[in-house]
Amino acid sequence: MKLEVTKAVVPVAGLGTRFLPATKVIPKEMLTVVDRPTIQYIVEEVVASGIKEIVLVTASGKSAIEDHFDYSFELETFLAQKGKLDLLREVRHISRLIDVVSVRQKEPLGLGHAVKVTEPVVGDQPFVVVLGDDLVESEVPCVYQMLQVFGRFEESVVAVQRVPAEETHRYGIVEGEEVAEGVFKVTRLIEKPAPGTTDSNLAIIGRYVLHPHIYSCLSRTLPGVGGEIQLTDALEIMRRERGLYAYVFQGNRYDAGDKFGYLQATVNFALDHPELGARFREYLKELLNDG
Domains in the chain, CATH or no CATH each: 7-290 (3.90.550.10)
CA distance linking residue 40 with residue 65, whole number of Å = 9
CA distance linking residue 70 with residue 100, whole number of Å = 9
Q: How far is CA 59 from the centre of its chain?
A: 17
From first to last of its 291 residues, what are the pLDDT tens digits of the chain? 567 899 999 998 887 788 888 888 888 888 999 988 999 999 999 999 999 899 999 887 778 888 877 777 788 788 888 788 888 787 777 777 777 888 888 888 899 999 999 999 999 999 999 998 899 999 999 999 999 999 999 999 999 999 998 888 888 899 999 999 999 999 999 888 888 888 899 999 999 999 999 999 999 998 877 788 999 999 999 999 999 999 999 999 999 988 999 999 999 999 999 999 999 999 999 988 876
Q: What is the per-residue pLDDT for 257? A: 86
Q: What is the per-residue pLDDT for 99? A: 78
Please tell me the number of Cα atoms within 13 Å of 136 on its side-chain side.
27
pTM over 0.75: yes
**Torsion, CA 153, CA 156, CA 161, CA 165, rounded to 10:** -110
Q: What is the per-residue pLDDT for 281? A: 94
pLDDT digits (tens, 9 = 90+) for 4-19: 899 999 998 887 788 8
State which H helix or E strand residue 281 sits in. helix 277-290
pLDDT digits (tens, 9 = 90+) for 21-37: 888 888 888 899 998 89
CA distance linking residue 144 with residue 149, whole number of Å = 9
